[in-house]
Amino acid sequence: MKVGFYSPLPPARTGVADYAAALLDALRRLGPVEVNAGDPGVSLYQIGNNQLHREIYRRALERPGVVVLHDAVLQHFFLGSLGEREYIAEFCYNYGAWSEDLARTLWRERARSAADPRYFEYPMLQRIAESSLAVIVHNPGAAAMVREHHAAARVYEIPHFYEPSDPAPYDVERLRARFQLPAGTFVFGVFGHLRESKRLATILRAFQRVRRETPAALLVAGEFASSDLERSIEPCLDSPGILRVDYLPQRDFLLHAAAVDACINLRHPAAGETSGIAIRLMGLSKPVIVTEGRETSRFPRDACIPVDPGPTEEEMLLEAMLWLARYPDDATAIGERAAAHIREFHSLDRAAAMYWQVLQACYDG
């Protein structure tokens, strides 16, 4: 069995590219795998929600194989890749001809799509679910979305893997010293592409309230996904206690992740994704504050801090941040339980073996 592997790869500045590069190496230890193979025995397609995946998606429909959905809401992918007529046709293919008026409204108001919950309620997965030999997802929420669009789909849940790569303690301490923080400061971190669904405005409001109660800092690391969001948020980042860095390559990301005391990784509205950032920070023994939902339901509740989306979000986040900052021993204990969970269920070798099993089953079938 030769596996064809289709994905963005480094130096593409996307988490899917980093994930795919590590998975590719692990799969090649199990058998022959060729990137962009012309005529493989079975194909593995990595599908995400940005335009780097346009040709991969097209090929996955033309030559069906095993699809990995890193985002289980493809709504924004279609908004960016289709014209109005094609978008409406695709929407109606998913939800019936009677949904045409809704499709027109969503297209017309698409400038709101990054934060408007309506766009997350229509994942538009039917075509890829129907055509694929199997669909791999990373959490129960994504699995449910696929089955809601195509009940007969062969859906496999494979945990998002973690590949240990701890920075040297000396480098971590040197980075913290560069922050020039007073002794005893508890450092929170927000990482990755900064989009509306990561709740940065809410995080900044909660952080300013935390700083009035206890010594704390907030590292905000990553690129903004939209210029409008950047313009609205940037003035708030020029405040005491805020540490701002731009996009971090893999090595620098791991160093900064190791230098924080806790991670805030909120996602609302959710797109069915499992956050690779949350997995990495948990693997580094950091307590992670996550949004409560099906996407995070596999994490033990004593190994992370869930926050409900909606009206209570900011108050729950505030309480969680104050607890961690005031009781660092509790934060350490949560991080240790998180790392133990990641070691047991999210190892790269375990995930690669599960991938190979699915690929072999599809090839044999």
Same domain, 251 and 181: yes
The 10s digit of each residue's pLDDT in 199-222 is: 999 999 999 999 999 999 999 999
Helix (H, G, I), strand (E, B) or coil at 108: helix
243 part of a folded domain = yes
The 10s digit of each residue's pLDDT in 143-177 is: 999 999 999 999 999 999 999 888 999 999 999 99
Same domain, 235 and 360: no
CATH value at residue 317: 3.40.50.2000
| Mean pLDDT score of the chain | 95
Same domain, 241 and 285: yes
103 part of a folded domain = no
Model confidence at 59, pLDDT cuts 50, 70, 90, reads very high
Same domain, 49 and 150: yes
Contact assessment for residue 143 and residue 134, using Cβ atoms and an 8 Å cutoff:
no
* Backbone region of residue 184 per phi and psi (left: phi > 0; alpha: psi in -120 to 50; beta: other values): left
Contact assessment for residue 346 and residue 159, using Cβ atoms and an 8 Å cutoff:
yes
- Residue 15: the pLDDT is 85
Same domain, 182 and 196: yes
DSSP string, 66-77: EEEES-S--HHH
Place of tokens 């990784």: 265
The 10s digit of each residue's pLDDT in 86-145 is: 999 999 999 999 999 999 999 999 999 988 999 999 999 999 999 999 999 999 999 999
Same domain, 156 and 285: no
The 10s digit of each residue's pLDDT in 178-205 is: 999 888 899 999 999 899 999 999 999 9
Place of tokens 């195509």: 150
- Segment 76-83 shows an average pLDDT of 96
How many domains does the chain divide into?
2
Contact assessment for residue 62 and residue 40, using Cβ atoms and an 8 Å cutoff:
no
- Residue 13: the pLDDT is 83
Helix (H, G, I), strand (E, B) or coil at 82: coil
Same domain, 294 and 246: yes
Same domain, 156 and 184: no
80 part of a folded domain = no
Structure-block tokens of residue 340 = 């133990």
The contacts of residue 354 (CB under 8 Å, 6+ apart) are: 156, 158
DSSP character for 138? S
Residue 63 has pLDDT above 90, yes or no: yes
- Residue 60: the pLDDT is 97
Q: Which range of residues forms the domain containing residue 277?
A: 169-345
pTM attached to this predicted model: 0.93
Same domain, 208 and 309: yes
Same domain, 203 and 142: no
Same domain, 358 and 340: no
Start-end of H helices in 194-327: 200-211, 227-237, 250-259, 276-283, 313-326
Chain centroid, CA 99 distance in Å: 29
Residue 236 has pLDDT above 90, yes or no: no
The 10s digit of each residue's pLDDT in 312-348 is: 999 999 999 999 999 999 999 999 999 999 999 999 9
Separation of alpha carbons 16 and 82, rounded Å: 22
Helix (H, G, I), strand (E, B) or coil at 238: coil
Separation of alpha carbons 349 and 340, rounded Å: 16
The contacts of residue 135 (CB under 8 Å, 6+ apart) are: 66, 67, 68, 69, 128, 129, 146, 153, 154, 155, 156
Same domain, 341 and 351: no
Structure-block tokens of residue 44 = 């593995």
